């Protein structure tokens, strides 16, 4: 069995339940702008980057409108909204167990880097992670998650043979595949991958405890 010394995590829907906070701030953003979204603001919109989600909700790619909505969202989420974020059951113990075993943990998330860091500090997790990457960590912004994982592995000289990516959405699995990384689906969050979406070779865990056991067995 391959030894994984570098564990790369998605964030939303994998380690944290950020849906209540995110959805409240999206609703607040549209209310402040005085417009109605063209689709329901519910768990199904969680996961993609902010700009893409706002375009989906607004039914528009108008740059001025999306910029206005983004500023309203950030004003809500980056001040108090993010504090409503909670860890999924067993996640703190999972991270502590992996870190205590001498493994190197990183985050590669579609979430913006500023609230990501705020949330890690809020949950007391900042010390668990060697590296935290987001699409907007760089200028120009990275185009997608696969490119972000590639950049993380290149920058930190992480061999693909020693790493695994963990996420909750098909995009996460495909991004892992694009970088020749094994993928483990975290099927306890709102983005849980269905049987129809699951690709051959993707492993599945249904609890943090199961995930910790699987990763320990892989050492």
How far is it between the farthest Cα atoms of the chain?
Answer: 55
| Structural domain spans, the chain | 6-17+85-217, 19-83
For 131, the 3-state DSSP assignment is strand
Task: Quote the pLDDT of residue 219.
Answer: 59
Cβ atoms of 26 and 98 within 8 Å: the answer is no
How far apart are the C-alpha atoms of 68 and 57, rounded to whole Å? 13
Q: For residue 66, give Cα distances in angstroms to 42, 71, 95, 141, 210.
A: 19, 9, 36, 17, 40
Q: Say how far apart CA 41 and CA 58 lie, in whole Å.
A: 11
Q: Taking the domain 6-17+85-217, which CATH number applies?
A: 3.40.50.1000
Q: 16: which DSSP letter?
A: E
Task: Return the pLDDT at 195.
Answer: 85
Tens digit of pLDDT at every position of the chain (219 positions): 457 899 999 999 999 999 999 999 999 999 999 999 999 999 889 888 999 999 999 999 999 999 999 999 999 999 999 999 999 999 999 999 999 999 999 999 999 999 999 999 999 999 999 999 999 999 999 999 999 999 999 999 999 999 999 999 999 999 999 999 999 999 998 767 888 899 999 999 999 999 998 887 765
pLDDT in tens, 153-182: 999 999 999 999 999 999 999 999 999 999
Find the angle CA(186)-CA(202)-CA(111) to the nearest 5 degrees. Answer: 45
- Please provide residue 84's backbone torsions phi and psi, each rounded to the nearest 5 degrees: -80, 0
Whole-structure pTM value: 0.91
Q: Which residues contact 218 (CB under 8 A, 6 or more apart)?
A: 1, 2, 3, 4, 164
- Tokens 């989420």, residue? 77
pLDDT of res. 191? 62
pLDDT of the residue at 194 = 85
Topology of domain 19-83, per CATH? DNA polymerase; domain 1 (1.10.150)
- Find out whether 165 and 108 touch, Cβ atoms under 8 Å: yes
């Amino acid at each position: 069995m391959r030894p994984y010394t570098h564990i790369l995590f998605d964030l939303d829907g994998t380690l944290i339940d950020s849906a209540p906070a995110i959805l409240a701030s999206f609703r607040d953003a549209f209310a402040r702008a005085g417009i109605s979204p063209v689709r329901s603001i519910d768990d199904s919109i969680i996961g993609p980057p902010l700009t893409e989600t706002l375009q989906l909700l607004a039914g528009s790619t108008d740059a001025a409108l999306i910029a206005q909505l983004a500023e309203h969202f950030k004003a809500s989420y980056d001040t108090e909204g993010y504090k409503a974020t909670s860890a999924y059951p067993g996640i703190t113990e999972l991270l502590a167990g992996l870190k205590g075993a001498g493994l190197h943990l990183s985050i590669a998330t579609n979430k913006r880097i500023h609230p990501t860091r705020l949330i890690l500090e809020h949950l007391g997790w900042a010390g668990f992670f060697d590296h935290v990457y987001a699409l907007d960590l760089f200028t120009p912004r990275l185009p997608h998650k696969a490119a972000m994982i590639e950049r993380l592995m290149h920058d930190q000289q992480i061999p693909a043979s020693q790493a695994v990516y963990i996420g909750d959405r098909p995009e996460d699995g495909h991004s892992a595949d694009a970088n020749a990384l094994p993928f483990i689906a975290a099927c306890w969050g709102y983005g849980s991958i269905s049987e129809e979406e699951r690709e051959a070779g993707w492993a599945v865990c249904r609890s943090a405890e199961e995930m910790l056991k699987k990763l320990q067995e892989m050492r």
